[in-house]
């Protein structure tokens, strides 16, 4: 299915840019007239994905994070968060609740949270080359008054 609109932005893996990514995704999704709960779910999922890039993909240096947003005719929003960092050696293990490589201050719930707020979550990673997280969420059509 071909997207009806799309946007792409690349930014440094600085923690200040996590808020930027959340806001960019929420503003782009606004075209679908989401509810406040849907917007908050989208922002939370994006926040988790971008924070994973900042904390895990580039633990020793800054790197680039790409956020790609696409809208489809069926009111589906696709969000892709991609890095070229260290990658994940065992994606299945990393997706388990409470697993983290980020130390005691990390909860290990990032992928679990993303999955709970999105309709679909796909994680692809190659150690040493980076990770791509693709999330989809269908926004319910609201009745017009």
Q: Please indicate whether residue 106 is annotated as part of the active site.
A: yes
Crossing angle of helices 16-29 and 36-52, rounded to 10°: 140
Of 17, 38, 52, 70, the active-site residue reads 52
State the CB neighbour count (10 A cutoff) for residue 51.
Answer: 18
Taking only the tens of pLDDT, the chain with its 145 residues reads 899 999 999 999 999 999 999 999 999 999 999 999 999 999 999 999 999 999 889 988 999 999 999 999 999 999 999 999 999 876 676 666 555 555 555 545 667 888 889 999 999 999 999 999 999 999 987 765 5
pLDDT confidence of residue 109: 62
Instruction: Supply the pLDDT for residue 40.
Output: 96
DSSP 8-class letter at 1: -
Task: Give yes or no: 48 in active site.
Answer: yes
| Predicted pLDDT at 99 | 54
Cα–Cα dist 51/14, whole Å: 9
Among residues 68, 95, 106, 136, the one annotated as catalytic is: 106
Q: How far apart are CA 56 and CA 100, in angstroms?
A: 9
Asked if 142 is an active-site residue, the reply is no
pTM, two decimals, is: 0.87
Q: Which residues lie closer than 8 Å to 141 by C-beta, 6 or more apart?
A: 75
Which residue out of 18, 38, 48, 78 is catalytically annotated? 48
């Amino acid at each position: 299915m071909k997207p009806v609109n799309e946007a792409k932005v690349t930014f440094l893996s600085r923690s200040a840019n996590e808020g930027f990514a959340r806001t960019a995704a929420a503003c782009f999704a606004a075209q679908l007239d989401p509810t406040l709960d849907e917007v908050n779910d989208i922002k939370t999922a994006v926040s988790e994905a971008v924070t994973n890039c900042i904390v895990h993909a580039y633990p020793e240096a800054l790197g680039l994070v790409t956020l790609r947003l696409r809208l489809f005719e069926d009111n589906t929003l696709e969000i892709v968060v991609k890095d070229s960092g260290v990658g994940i050696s065992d994606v299945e293990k990393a997706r388990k609740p409470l697993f983290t490589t980020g130390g005691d201050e990390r909860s290990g719930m990032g992928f679990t949270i993303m999955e709970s707020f999105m309709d679909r979550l796909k994680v692809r990673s190659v150690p040493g080359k980076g990770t791509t997280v693709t999330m989809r969420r269908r926004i319910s059509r609201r009745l017009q008054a």
